[in-house]
Amino acid sequence: MFLSTITPIAQDNYVAFTFFIGTMAMMAASVFFFFELNNVPQKWRTSVLVSGLITFIAAVHYYYMRSYNLETGESPTFFRYVDWILTVPLMCVEFYLITKKAGAKVSLLWQLIFASVVMLITGYFGETMDRDHSVLWGVISGAAYFYIAYLIWFGEVASLAQTAGPSVAKATRILAWFVLVGWAIYPLGYILGTPGGLFGMTLVDNPKDAAVAMDIVYNIADAVNKIGFGLVIYTLAKSDAN
């Protein structure tokens, strides 16, 4: 009965296909992280748990977004931002958790969360609610992103990681690369999905093609970034147990 309600994916529907792959990949990652909780040291279990929550939340949203895309043929932009407003701050929380032993304060946690929320809200405004001023909203969103990157590469997070031991320092640097390179894919999606692109540039002229390209870019980036984040945390936990 359940299978009969599933809408089949056409072979040329690359957006729905990447939603499907993203759902399966992040659900599998969630199961792995949850099952491994008892196999990592106690002090890292919260970090691994958060990694599992990130991929689980994303998997549920991706399952819904795949159905939405198949039924309407439209990009599920609103629901994507609902997913991000939950998962991206949690990814920032990971930096606080792994540097907490080195003296990270709650104020650092709130700085990271606040910057991530500003980045997402202004991005949503520029992509959906005020597209005529997408450049302005894109600049504000980008400023919040660079603030997060600064904290991780040169600011308080970087300083704390250096005093938390070589394993934490290495993990923090890898996660920092995810933020600098992996998260940079999202501005590319923003350029593809807003009129004229950012700073007057456009990569795809047809709005429908732009939406398709945007969804594919976002889906690939989400799977790589969220699963990758969790695997770095898991590797840190396991290396600390040896």
Q: At what angle do helices 207-241 and 14-35 cross, to 10 degrees?
A: 20
**In this predicted structure, what is the pLDDT of residue 197?**
54
Asked if residue 226 has pLDDT above 60, the reply is: yes
Residue 72: CB partners within 8 Å, gap ≥ 6?
none
In 3D space, the residue among 182, 213, 228, 222 whose CA is nearest the CA of residue 21 turns out to be 222
Q: For residues 7 and 122, which has the higher predicted lDDT (pLDDT)?
A: 122
- Supply the pTM of this predicted model: 0.87
DSSP-derived secondary structure letter, 103: T
pLDDT digits over 172-212, tens only? Answer: 999 999 999 888 877 777 776 665 554 455 545 555 666 67
Delimit the domains of the chain by residue range: 9-241
**In this predicted structure, what is the pLDDT of residue 3?**
41
Share of the chain above pLDDT 70, in %: 86
**In this predicted structure, what is the pLDDT of residue 62?**
94
> Judging by beta carbons within 10 Å of its beta carbon (0-12, 13-18, 19+), is residue 110 exposed, middle or buried?
exposed
**CATH number corresponding to 9-241:** 1.20.1070.10
